[in-house]
Structure 1
Amino acid sequence: MKLTSHQNMKIFILLLLSSHFASSVRHSLKYIYTGSSGLPDFPEFVAATVVDDNLVGYCDSSKKIIEPKQDWVKKLLEDDPDHLELYKGLCFEREPTNFEATINSLKQRFNQSGGVHILQRMSGCEWDDETGEVNGYIQFGYDGEDFISMDLKTETWIAPKPQAVITKLKWDADKAEIKFYQNFLTVIYPEWLKRYLASGRSSLLRTELPSVSLLQKTPSSPVSCHATGFYPHRASLVWRKDGEELHEEVDHGEILPNHDGTFQMSVDLNLSSVKPEDWTRYDCVFQFSGVKEDIITKLEKDRIRTNWVKPSDKTVLVIAAVVVVALILIGAAGFIVCKKKKGERPAAPDNSTELSEQLNPET
């Protein structure tokens, strides 16, 4: 949960969407509030609603707008004006005021007089649709570092920085506030999450299989197994040898979002110590959460796409032509040298007479 002063909102949201969970049956709801001070080109308060790592709503206190990012969210807010008014109250009234006051307090506590400062709060829940297990969380960050978070099991706040101890002691003493947060994180949020999943089922619960390719820059480079266009993001991509997953000589990349809402990922395999005859023992496996059938891509040379091009007949002809031209130039240079040695001068250009007349002042 980090946002530096040099990041803009597009990068901020991209980082939020790039995070993922390993469980195949967990759904998530996140609310990310961001307050800023000293950033002229950034709103003083913005908030984002994220369901299963999909941005579904956004609000901006400076423009006084609540912007649904999915059609089903727009319809849900139209059908439930009370839900819309709740978001308006949070985005335009209560939270901007709270965040501004908190930033001013933290600046004094950290002995800061000016500059750029960022306060963030991320709260939400994870819900297992098979077991019904719910995990709620709420945490605050200041200037890109963790500041304070709640431990729901012990009903206390955790302060990783000395400057947060004052806040911890004050909040630990407010048992009513802790119960309020517990109810929201473990009861209200899961209810909202289930409602959002039901309303956006066609987009949030869809399944799109990827296209898988084998890529290699040069014959000595690792072979990259690249999967793109899949949804949801809960997937894995591994290299296997003789049916066993490899952990050495393998480099896993992050799951990244595509512009169309799908995802991509890659995993590299170092073949420097593998004999060519053993390539057939390797394959790349894409595994999808909730999908029984894996996508298996065998490591075969004719399936590898590469930027490296072998010399062709056309290349040989071009090289031959360059050699011929070079020989002609060398021959011409030798002819001129030979003429000079014999006392002969090369013939003047056709326009030499005209040029001399132009330089003669009597003409």
Structure 2
Amino acid sequence: MALGTGILLAPGANAADKWGPGYLIPDSTGKPDRSHIGAYGPPGQALPGVTGVAYCADPELDGPEAAGRYGPVKEYTSWTSKATGKEASAQDIARAAYVLSKYGNTTDDAQAAAVDAVVYSYLEAGTTYALPNGERALQRLSYPGVAPSAKKQATEYMAEAAKFAGPYKVNIKPSEGTPKPGAKTTVTLDVTSAAGHKVPGVKLDLGLTGAGTSETTATTNAEGIATTTITPAKAGTATLKATAESLPGNALRAITPSNAKAQRMVLTGGTTSAHHQVQFQVDPLKGGIKIVKTAVDTGKTLAGVAFEIKDGQGKTAAAGKTDAAGVWQVKDLAPGSYTVHEVKAVEGYQLAPDQTVTVGADKTADIAVKDVKIPEPEKPKPRPVTIPVLPKTGL
């Protein structure tokens, strides 16, 4: 980027006191101290009406001192190079916005020079100002006095942006199984970049509506994964919403000069957000019935006795037989009223009468069913026989 006349500093001198963090270097024709690699803004001369740090976006045009004035800050999701007439891809715009948002606001000379090189590489792709192979891009970062770390940082920023630039997507994955009232359910969250990589260090604001409680925040770890728990208070539908605020921007923030021969300026800052929500169907807690079958006459348990459990509509909810210990237990019954019906008794015993039982949430109702032995039929009593005494007769 060419500066105006009258800026004659020593080659490689730090220009932070005048323009902002960065370096004065020779221009593309070799004239010393005629180009600035870095940023405009504090601690140097701020652009009128611009807070923060700005970077030149058109390397072949005059510097911002030739702009006359700049218009208001606007967001751009499309960008056309004035050098090539070609539009930057949406991917390159998002990656440039990522680097500007995350690393652009700096007072470090080398970092500002690195971000400047990255901006040209994305917005002027295919030109001599673009990394990794552009002759002028490599030249600008290799002059004596420019910190060697600037080139290294620029390469690292572009590699990072390729992995983690937006647009972003929040993902919520509940643990296996259906949430139950009063029980904690683990939920896994992540935020993925446009390239599909999980982004580390992202804070997520959480909110559970409908029923229950949840943690208020979660932050993705070094692998880009966060976990939280939700505790539904009651049966019904619960909605968990996760929002990631202050993610690096996807669009360019830029100002345009009144003088078309001067450079446009892209600004640091700019953020975006992403959110997602998932609905959970919370089932009511189930209960159960435990039947213990005994004989009235002996007090011993009876095995192999068949039972049915009927619901309030008379439909069979469960069926089975008592085990060797005389026990049959039913689980996973919805709370409500049920009828315990003995289907078949063991040989020698009568069927027990039906019993009505109420099943509560997360509770087991114990039912004792006693069978009465079938009485043996009465034996007929002997009838007394009276033999009349015949009168004696003579011989």
TM-score normalised by structure 1 residue count = 0.21
More helix by share: 1
Q: Which has the larger radius of gyration?
A: 2
Taking structure 2 as the reference length, the TM-score comes to 0.20
